Amino acid sequence: MGENVRSGAAAGPVGVGAAAGIGAGAAEGIAAGAVVGIAAGVAAGVYAVLSRRTDGAWLRTNHVGRTVTLYAGPAAVLGSAAGIAAAPGPARGRAAGALAVLAAGGCGAYDDLVGAKDPRRGFRAHLEALRGGEVTSGAVKLFGIGAAGVLAGLVIEERVVDGVLTGVVIAGTAHLVNLVDVGPGVAVGSVALLGAAAGTPGAAAAAVLAPADLGERTMLGDTGAHGLGAALGIALARRGGRTGRVALAAGLVAAAANGDRISGVARRASKVLRRVAGAAGA
């Protein structure tokens, strides 16, 4: 009997620890679910409110000549920023991440509204204009998102080198998502899938907007593509160490240098997605 008593006594703390572990896991799951709900809810709510408006500045003609809105852009940005702000973690890091997403979306919105009729595309064209003394909306976007990314990285990371690398990843991912936003479904789908794996609230914002984007009722524009990309970049940079950030930064620079090829692949992917959606009755 003594042995049984001793065994029970020994098992008591283990049982309590296991229960505590389960409780902690449940709490983390609830917190993660709340963050997803906030990001998705804000994105859906903002999109619903904006969709009641008719503002010519936020209308575009898509690849098949259909008029669509750019309202998914602000909805994606605000949903992602709200989710990041509500996520667990140090307040400074959360604030820096949310502000980086808002800054990326704001620079994208400036390009959407001010640079809508500017035919120049790509880094080289905007840098050449800058050398001639003209500050294009694309240049504002390029330097604005880059600066916001680096500042956020320096706040999030303790070491300067890690902060700069994080900034490059944030800005580079923002640009990459914009490169693939050349047809319905590709950008939101990419962020929803990669973001879910990386753990960014932006994945939920992208997912809730995906049906309207794929259904060609709206598009992300530069606003949403850069905002979602910045949110994804924050999550990707924080999941890897310095070596991972270096590899990511190098890959993103290579993608930017081959932007036309990346966009070409994205266009083909969009056609496949539209066929699948059509077959499914979307």
For residue 80, what pLDDT band results from cuts at 50, 70 and 90? Answer: very high
pLDDT tens figures, 168-197: 999 999 999 999 999 999 999 999 999 999
Q: Which residue has the tokens 């924080």?
A: 238
Give the angle subtended at the CA of 193 by the CAs of 191 and 199, to the nearest 5°: 80
DSSP run (H or E) holding 53: none
Nearest residue to 233 (alpha-carbon basis) of 143, 155, 166: 166
Q: For residue 266, give the DSSP letter.
A: H
pLDDT tens per residue, range 96-152 = 999 999 999 999 999 999 877 766 666 666 667 677 777 777 788 889 999 999 999
* Strand, helix or coil for residue 271: helix
Burial 224-249 (b: 16+ CB within 10 A, else e): bbbbbbbbbbbbbbbeeeeeebeebb
* Band (8; pLDDT cuts 50, 70, 90): very low
Mean pLDDT on 63-79: 94
Buried b (16+ CB within 10 A) or exposed e, 69-93: bbbbbbbbbbbbbbbbbbbeeeeeb
Distance of CA 151 to the CA centre of its chain: 17
DSSP 59: E
Question: What's the mean pLDDT in 66-77?
Answer: 96
Does residue 6 register a pLDDT over 70? no
Between the two ends of the chain, the Cα-to-Cα distance in Å is 68
The yes-or-no verdict on residue 208 having pLDDT over 90 is: yes
For residue 162, give Cα distances in angstroms to 151, 167, 240.
Answer: 12, 8, 11
- The answer to whether 40 and 81 have CB atoms below 8 angstroms apart is no
pLDDT digits (tens, 9 = 90+) for 11-57: 444 444 444 445 556 667 777 889 999 999 999 999 999 999 988 99
Please name the amino acid found at residue 98. A
**Is residue 67 within 8 Å of 35, Cβ to Cβ?**
no
156 vs 62 pLDDT, higher one = 156
Global pTM reads 0.85
83/27 Cα distance (integer angstroms): 17
More reliable by pLDDT, 64 or 232: 232
- pLDDT tier at 62, thresholds 50, 70, 90: confident
pLDDT at 224 over 60: yes
Average pLDDT, the chain: 87
SS3 67: strand
